[in-house]
Amino acid sequence: MRAWVYRTKGKPADVLRLEDDYPKPEPAQGQLLVSLRAVSTNPVFFKTMGMAPMRYMQRVPCVPEGDFSGVVAGGSLDGTDLKLGDEVFGIVPAQITMKNGKGALAEYLVCDKDLVVKKPANVSFEEASTFPLTTFTAYWALVRTGKLEKGKAQRVFINGGSGGVGAYAVQLAKAYGAFVATTCSPPSRELVSSLGADDVHDYKESDLATQLSSKYSGEPFDIFFDTVGHDTSLYYKSPTYLKPSGIYVDVAGPHIDGSIGSLLRASVDFANRLLRPKMLGGVPRKYTFGMMTTDRKELEEMAALIGEGKLRPIVDSVFAFEDALKAYERQMSNRAKGKVVVKVSQ
Ligand SMILES: NC(=O)c1ccc[n+]([C@@H]2O[C@H](COP(=O)([O-])OP(=O)(O)OC[C@H]3O[C@@H](n4cnc5c(N)ncnc54)[C@H](OP(=O)(O)O)[C@@H]3O)[C@@H](O)[C@H]2O)c1
C-alpha cells in the first residue's frame, strides 16, 4: 500500500516520505482492517516525530496519525454491528502508534474494533475524521476530569476556542448545557461565536488574566480548560476567576523550545503547580495535566451528538494524500481554525 513513513526523528518535511510499497497491515484478533478515506492531523504526531528518541520511545519505521474515517475491509467483525463495506470513523491512540508504528496516514489501517463506529450520514469522510482525538480530549478534560454534568449549568472557560481541541470542546460544553467563555484572535471570532460560545475574549487585545479577573471575579468558573499552554500567569492568577472548588485542566503543557533553560523553567513551573502546598505560597486551585483517554461509550455518544447536529465538524483545510507535507505545514503554523485533513484517495 501507499503510506507516509518516517524512520528517523526530525521535522515532517525532513523525515516523512511517501512510500509506494509499504506492507499492508494484518488485523490481529479483536482488530478491524479499514480502507482509509480521510485522516486528520494532530500536533502530538509532529511533536513525537521531532522529539522522542527512536528505539526507546517509539517504534520505527512509523506511519503517523490516529484520527481516521474509511470503509470496513476485514478483521474481527464478531460482536460488532459492522459489516464489510460499512462507512466508519475512529481512532488509533498515539500511545499505540508509538508502540507498533501502525498509524493512519496510509491506505489501510488496523485498529481496535471498540474504537470504530459507523460514520453518521450527515458528515462526509473528511469531516468525520476530525472528531475523535479532539473530542476525546474534550471529554477527558471537561467530563472525566472537570466533572462537567448535563443540566448542571456549570461555568466553563476554554482557552483556545478556535483550535482543533478548543472548537470541539466549546461545542461539547454547550451540548452539556454549560455557560462557555473562550479566547481567540479577531479573525476567528465569528467561527467561535457560531459554535455557541457565550463570551469570546481577544487574547491579543490585552493581558488575558487581567481581562478575566475584571470580568469574572464575581461569577467565577467551575472549569478552566487550557488547550494553549504558554501563558503560565493564567494558572497563577486563576483564584480571581476560578471557584475555590474549581479545577484548572491543562492538555498543552508549558512551552519548551528545546533549550535547557526552557526545560528547567518548565520543570520548576510544573513542580509549583502540582506539588507546592498553599501554606508555602502555592496557588489555592487544583491543577491537572494529562493525556486524553479513549472509551467506547464516549465514541458512541460522540457519534450521536454528530448525528443530532450538536457537534459539527470544523475543517480548516483539506489536502490531497500526496500533499500531506503541506498539511503538516498548516498544522504546525499554530493558526489552523479547526482541523487539518488529508484525503486518502483510493
Ligand atoms: N494532552 C492531550 O491528550 C492532548 C490531546 C490533544 C491535543 N493536545 C495538545 O493541545 C494543544 C492544542 O492542540 P490543537 O489541536 O487544538 O492545536 P491547533 O489546532 O494547532 O491550535 C491552533 C489554534 O490555536 C489558537 N491559538 C494560538 N495561540 C493562542 C493563544 N495564545 N490563545 C488562544 N488561542 C490561541 C489559534 O487561534 P487564533 O488563530 O484565533 O489565535 C488556532 O486556532 C497542542 O499543544 C496539542 O499537542 C494534547
pLDDT in tens, 134-168: 999 999 999 999 999 998 999 999 999 999 999 99
Say whether pLDDT at 171 is over 80: yes
Distance 336 CA to ligand 1 centre (A): 8
133 vs 169: CA distance, rounded Å: 11
What span, in angstroms and rounded, lies between the C-alpha atoms of 315 and 333? 15
Report pLDDT for 102: 96
pLDDT at res. 125: 98
CA-to-CA separations, 304 to 20, 120, 129, 138, 219, in angstroms, rounded = 37, 8, 15, 16, 32
CATH of region 3-130+313-343: 3.90.180.10
Mutate to test the pocket of ligand 1, among 334, 339, 340, 341 (most ligand atoms within 8 A of CB): 334
pLDDT value, residue 55 = 66
Phi, psi of 53 (to 5 degrees): -60, 130
Mean pLDDT of 315-329: 98
Looking at residue 345, its pLDDT comes to 79
Fold for the domain defined by 134-289: Rossmann fold (3.40.50)
% of residues, the chain, pLDDT over 70: 98
Residue located nearest, by CA, to atom 12 of ligand 1: 227
| Domain range annotation of the chain | 3-130+313-343, 134-289
What spacing in Å lies between the alpha carbon of 21 and ligand 1's midpoint?
35
Ligand 1 centre distance from Cα of residue 165 (Å)? 7
pLDDT the model gives residue 53: 61
* pLDDT tens, residue by residue, 64-111: 999 999 999 999 999 999 999 999 999 999 999 999 999 999 999 999
pLDDT level of residue 280 (50, 70, 90 thresholds) = confident
Average pLDDT over residues 33-42: 98
Q: Give distance in angstroms: CA of 43 to centre of ligand 1.
A: 8
Residues having CB closer than 6 A to ligand 1 are 42-44, 133, 137, 159-160, 162-166, 183-185, 188, 203, 227-228, 230, 251-252, 291-292, 334-337
Residue 272 has pLDDT above 70, yes or no: yes
